Structure 1
Amino acid sequence: MQTLTYRFPAREAATHPIHVGVVASGDLEILLEPLAAGDDDGVVVRVRTSVNGFDTVWHDVLERFFTRTPLAGRWELNDFGATPGVVNLRLRQASEAAAS
């Protein structure tokens, strides 16, 4: 099990907690918590993954997403072998849920 932490700038703030996905074979769970009042950390992403050695892939997928969708908050991604496509899908689902 590997834990990775990434930070990205953000312009918009999540207003309520979000939960999408599940921790299951080939899938990914995302938990999004809004930042506390006065907190200006932007995007903080903690990835817990069962697959070691993909730090660069995680960084690239997350950087691409948060460049297009700068949604501030504390993101927790619990991975069990999700492909980059599934990661992107779950990130988009979480951002759409935050917008509603």
Structure 2
Amino acid sequence: METLDYRFDGHTAVHFPPQAVLVGVLASGNLEVLLEAAPLDGAMQVRIVTAASGFGSIWQAVIADFAARHPLRDVQVSINDAGATPAVVSLRLDQAVQALHEGAPQ
């Protein structure tokens, strides 16, 4: 198991639904993504726990791309990975942001 932590400046304020957002299923070749509100002085923090060690540079590229597309403020992103491909990671992250916007109070 490997744990990777990243922090990015956020620009987009988020209105969270009453509960945190969880997408995906932690199973072979997949992952789950949890988005939670957190007091991070406008930053987005990402923690990845993965069964596949040695892929830090790939994770950094995928997460940096996500942060550039979705610069969320005061959001903790937790990823539990069971060997998902970068495409699946991006899909799940986008799915989590969509669920966040759909479930946010208006």
TM (normalized to structure 2)?
0.87
The worse-fitting range, judged by mean Cα deviation, of 13-22 and 56-65 is 13-22
| Unaligned segments of structure 1, at least 5 residues | none
Alignment of 1:18-33 (within 5 A): 18-33=21-36
Match of 1:10 in 2: 10
Instruction: Return the alpha-carbon distance in structure 1 between the equivalents of residues 76 and 13 of structure 2.
Output: 10
| Unaligned segments of structure 2, at least 5 residues | none
Instruction: Return the alpha-carbon distance in structure 2 between the equivalents of residues 30 and 13 of structure 1.
Output: 19
Tell me the secondary structure at the aligned position of residue 96 of structure 1: helix
Tell me the secondary structure at the aligned position of residue 63 of structure 2: helix
| TM-superposition CA deviations, 1:78-98 (whole Å, max 9, x none) | 000000000000000001111
Contact 1:21 1:29 in 2 (8 A): yes
Instruction: Return the alpha-carbon distance in structure 2 between the equivalents of residues 21 and 14 of structure 1.
Output: 21
Contact 2:46 2:76 in 1 (8 A): yes
Instruction: Return the alpha-carbon distance in structure 1 between the equivalents of residues 15 and 101 of structure 2.
Output: 9
| TM-superposition CA deviations, 1:30-68 (whole Å, max 9, x none) | 0110123xx415110000000000000000000011101
Alignment size in residue pairs: 98
TM (normalized to structure 1)?
0.92
Contact 1:13 1:34 in 2 (8 A): no
